[in-house]
Chain A
Amino acid sequence: MQSIAEHDYGTPPPRWVNIGQSSSSAAAEAPLVSLNIDGVEVSVPQGTSVLRAAALNGINIPKLCATDQLDAFGSCRLCLVQIEGMKGYPASCTTPVAPGMKVTTQNDKLAALRRGVMELYISDHPLDCLTCPANGHCELQDMAGAVGLREVRYGYEGDNHVYAKLADGSVNARFVAKDESNPYFTFDPSKCIVCSRCVRACDEQQGTLALSIQGRGFDSKVSPSQNESFLDSECVSCGACVQACPTATLSENTLIAKGQAEHSIVTTCAYCGVGCSFRAEMKGEEVVRMVPDKDGQANHGHSCVKGRFAIGYATHPDRITKPMIRARTSDPWREVSWEEAIAYAASEFKRIQSRYGKGAIGGITSSRCSNEETYLVQKLVRAGFGNNNVDTCARVCHSPTGYGLRQTLGESAGTQNFDSVLQADVIMVIGANPTDGHPVFASLMKRRLREGAQLIVADPRRIDLVRSPHIEAAHHLKLKPGTNVALVNSLAHVIVTEGLVNEAFVRERCEQPAFEKWRKFVADARHAPEAMEAVTGVPAAELRAAARLYATGGNAAIYYGLGVTEHSQGSTMVMGIANLAMATGNIGREGVGVNPLRGQNNVQGSCDMGSFPHEFPGYRHVADEATRTQFEKAWGVSLLAEPGLRIPNMFESALDGDFKGLYIEGEDIAQSDPNTQHVTAALNAMECVVVQDLFLNESAKFAHVFLPGSSFLEKDGTFTNAERRIARVRRVMKPKAGYADWEITQLLANAMGYAMNYRHPSEIMDEIAALTPTFQGVSYARLDEMGSIQWPCNEQQPQGTPTMHVGEFVRGKGRFMITEYVPTHEKVNTRYPLILTTGRILSQYNVGAQTRRTENVAWHHEDRLEIHPSDAEARGIVENDWVGIASRAGETVLRAHLTDRVQPGVVYTTFHFPESGANVITTDNSDWATNCPEYKVTAVQVTRVSQPSQWQQRYRQFSERQAELLQARDSAVK
Chain B
Amino acid sequence: MKKDQVIPIRPEPGSELPPAQLTAVRAALAQQQHRPGALLPVLHAVQDALGYVPAEAVPLIAWELNLSRAEVHGVISFYHYFRQEKPGRHVLQLCRAEACQAVCGATLEAHAQQCLGVGFHGTTADGALTLEPVYCLGNCALGPSVMIDGELRGRVSPERFDHIVAQARQTP
Contacts and interface: CB of A to CB of B under 8 A. Distances in A.
Interface in A176-192: 181, 183
27 contacts: A208-B68, A209-B67, A209-B70, A209-B71, A211-B70, A212-B73, A212-B74, A214-B74, A223-B77, A225-B68, A226-B58, A226-B70, A226-B73, A227-B73, A231-B5, A232-B7, A233-B69, A234-B68, A234-B69, A234-B70, A469-B71, A470-B66, A858-B1, A859-B7, A864-B9, A897-B9, A899-B12
A855 interface: yes
A469 B66 contact: yes
* Residue of B58, B73, B74 with highest tally of chain A CB at under 10 A: B74
A561 interface: no
A181 B2 CA distance: 11
A817 interface: no
A223 B70 CA distance: 7
A216 interface: yes
A902 to B, nearest CB: 14
Interface string A188-220: 000000000000000000001111111110000
Contact of A225 (B1, B5, B6, B73): B73
Given A226-B58, A227-B77, 19 more contacts: A209-B68, A209-B71, A212-B71, A213-B74, A214-B78, A215-B77, A216-B77, A216-B78, A225-B69, A226-B69, A233-B69, A234-B68, A234-B70, A468-B66, A470-B67, A857-B6, A858-B6, A864-B9, A899-B12
Contacts of A467: 66
B6 to A, nearest CB: 5
A658 interface: no
A223 to B, nearest CB: 6
B70 A224 contact: yes
A212 B74 CA distance: 6
A547 interface: no
B55 interface: yes
B62 interface: yes
B68 A858 contact: no
Interface of B: 1, 5-7, 9, 12, 55, 58, 62, 66-71, 73-74, 77-78
A226 B55 contact: yes
* Residue of B7, B12, B70, B74 with highest tally of chain A CB at under 10 A: B70
Chain A residues touching B, majority SS: loop
Contacts of B7: 231-232, 858-859
A212 B77 CA distance: 10
Contacts of A897: 9
Contacts, number: 72
Interface string A894-910: 00010100000000000
Interface in A692-745: none
A857 B67 contact: no
Given A212-B73, A216-B78, A858 B67 contact: no
A1 interface: no
Given A231-B7, A232-B7, A859-B7, A469 B67 contact: yes
A472 interface: yes
Top 6 closest pairs, chain A to chain B, by CB: A212-B74, A209-B68, A212-B70, A469-B68, A214-B77, A226-B73
Contacts of B74: 212-214, 223
Contact of B68 (A210, A227, A857): A210
B73 A214 contact: yes
A471 interface: yes
Nearest to B79: A216
A109 interface: no
A471 B66 CA distance: 7
A472 B66 CA distance: 8
Nearest to B5: A858
A351 interface: no
Interface string A858-901: 11010010000000000000000000000000000000010100
Contacts of A225: 68-70, 73
B3 to A, nearest CB: 8
Contacts of A861: 6
A855 B1 contact: yes
A855 B77 CA distance: 33
A343 B78 CA distance: 71
Nearest to A181: B5
Nearest to A859: B7
Contacts of B58: 226
A907 to B, nearest CB: 16
Contacts of B78: 214-216
Nearest to A880: B9
Interface string A222-250: 01111100011110000000000000000
Contacts of B55: 226
A19 to B, nearest CB: 28
Contacts of A214: 73-74, 77-78
Contacts of A209: 67-68, 70-71
Contacts of B69: 225-226, 233-234
A396 B83 CA distance: 55
B135 to A, nearest CB: 13
Nearest to B70: A212
Contacts of A469: 62, 66-68, 71
Contacts of B5: 181, 183, 231, 858
B147 to A, nearest CB: 22
A209 B66 CA distance: 11
Contacts of B12: 899
B138 to A, nearest CB: 22
